[in-house]
């Protein structure tokens, strides 16, 4: 049995460790979100240099951003603090990426036409295009965002090499509701992390199941388990970061959908199987993290079963649910090698023996085992990877860190086949 030692001690790597981000703020009420984004980038391991336009200073002070970034804020192209008085050159050369958040409609138009009448636009124009990527987080009123000029600008900026991170939809400061809100700081952080993640699953289409299932006894009661779905959702996020097109079929959980992931909510094992069968034909990788109920009540009542005071419990008969992983693994796509299947096994004891037996029984190339009671509902886990050559331990770490490592393992196995 081997161990993936880079997880020794359970310490999780900082996703942006060693990255230097220039965070640019143009004018807009969404500048208040830039403060939280700055903190989030630093907590993820990045260093942050803030550059603000004159308009941005009307919404948030340089003092605030300096306190959060731990660095002097630059606001003028005539800033004399640089020895050569060329902040637009020096700041761009030091950056691993320039992130403009918020990026106003006016600033996008300025970038499009190559105007450079302030430090931030001058720096964007002077950056080495091949080595310093430009990421834009638009923020504006819904009518401004929908305007044909703005939409043309977005298309052309992407054609010129900028990465547009999209917008949110909802209530706006002006009182209107619609598209154009700047994404929330956590969403932007996820997008920045994904941008820097090696795309080891580029071109792959992943179908992932997650969470428990709920098998109804009557309209108000049912059989389920303690799975929180966190591992499956972490797998979906990590796969999307690695460049995959991800669809997540989720049992009854209340977790937010990872950025860029398509989600289908289901309830019972039968519901989950139906959803999987409908879309599995388009997948190249199937990852079954869901803790699917093995049995369901044979004849659930259409009314609440009430106790009658006799002390007698209702007699329930059960039928076995169809095995989703085994069904998919026996499909023509899986047998031909066009579909790579990964199973998960939550055991209570004898993990290695039970996981290996389950892998053979379900006929999958890779099975990931864990001790269910030690991880259900928690943010951390320890995994055992079981394949035809033996087993590999993944020591306890956050579920997201484990998911990212598992994505690399899956990518290596896919590319060998």
For the annotated catalytic residues, the residue numbers are 174
b/e per residue 336-364 (b: at least 16 CB within 10 A) = eeebbbbbbbbbeeebeebbbebbeebeb
Grouping H, G, I as helix, E, B as strand and the rest as coil, residue 200 is coil
Round to whole Å and give the CA distance between 50 and 68.
10
Report yes or no: 145 and 180 within 8 Å, Cβ to Cβ. Answer: yes
Both tokens of residue 264?
């289908």
Could you please report the per-residue DSSP string of 103-172?
A: E-HHHHHHHHHT--SSHHHHHHHHS-TTTS-EEEEE---HHHHHSHHHHHHHHHHHHTT-EE---EEEE-
Round to whole Å and give the CA distance between 56 and 24.
9
User: Position of tokens 């700047």?
Assistant: 182
Both tokens of residue 165?
């991170």
Query: Listing from the earlier edge strand, what are the strands of the sheet with 245-250?
Result: 2-3, 390-398, 380-387, 366-371, 340-347, 285-288, 205-210, 245-250, 262-265
Q: How many CB atoms lie within 10 A of CB 417?
A: 8
Report yes or no: 10 and 4 within 8 Å, Cβ to Cβ. Answer: no
Q: How many CB atoms lie within 10 A of CB 320?
A: 10
């Amino acid at each position: 049995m081997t161990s993936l030692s880079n997880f020794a001690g359970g310490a999780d790597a900082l996703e942006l460790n060693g990255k230097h981000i220039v965070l640019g703020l143009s004018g807009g009420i969404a500048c208040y979100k830039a403060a939280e984004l700055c903190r989030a980038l630093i907590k993820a391991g990045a260093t942050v240099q803030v550059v603000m336009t004159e308009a941005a200073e009307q919404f948030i002070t340089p003092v605030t951003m300096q306190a959060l970034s731990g660095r002097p804020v630059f606001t003028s192209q005539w800033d004399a603090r640089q020895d050569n008085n060329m902040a637009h050159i020096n700041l761009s050369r030091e950056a691993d990426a320039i992130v403009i958040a918020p990026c106003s409609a006016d600033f996008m138009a300025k970038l499009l036409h190559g105007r450079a009448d302030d430090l931030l636009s001058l720096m964007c124009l002077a950056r080495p295009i091949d080595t310093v990527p430009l990421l834009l987080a638009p923020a504006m009123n819904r009518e401004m965002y929908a305007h044909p000029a703005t939409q043309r600008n977005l298309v052309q900026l992407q054609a010129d090499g900028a990465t547009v991170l999209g917008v949110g939809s909802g209530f706006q400061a002006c009182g209107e509701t619609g598209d154009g809100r700047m994404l929330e700081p956590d969403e932007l952080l996820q997008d920045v992390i994904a941008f820097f993640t090696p795309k080891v699953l580029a071109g792959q289409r992943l179908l992932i199941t997650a969470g428990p299932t709920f098998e109804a006894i009557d309209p108000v009661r049912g059989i389920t388990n303690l799975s929180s779905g966190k591992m499956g959702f972490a797998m979906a996020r990590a796969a999307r970061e690695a460049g995959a097109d991800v669809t997540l079929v989720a049992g009854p959980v209340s977790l937010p959908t990872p950025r860029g992931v398509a989600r289908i909510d289901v309830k019972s094992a039968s519901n989950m199987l139906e959803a999987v069968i409908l879309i599995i034909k388009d997948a190249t990788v199937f990852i079954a993290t869901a803790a699917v109920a093995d049995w369901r009540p044979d004849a659930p009542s259409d009314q609440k079963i009430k106790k009658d005071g006799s002390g007698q419990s209702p007699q329930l008969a059960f039928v076995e649910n169809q095995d989703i992983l085994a069904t998919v693994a026996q499909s023509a796509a899986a047998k031909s090698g066009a579909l790579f299947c990964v199973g998960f096994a939550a055991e209570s004891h004898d993990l290695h023996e039970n996981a290996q037996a389950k892998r053979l029984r379900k006929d999958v190339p890779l099975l990931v085992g864990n001790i269910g009671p030690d991880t259900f509902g928690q943010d951390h886990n320890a995994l055992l990877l079981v394949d035809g050559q033996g087993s590999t331990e993944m020591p306890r770490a956050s579920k997201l860190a484990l998911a990212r490592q598992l994505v690399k393992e899956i990518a290596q196995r896919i590319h060998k086949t």
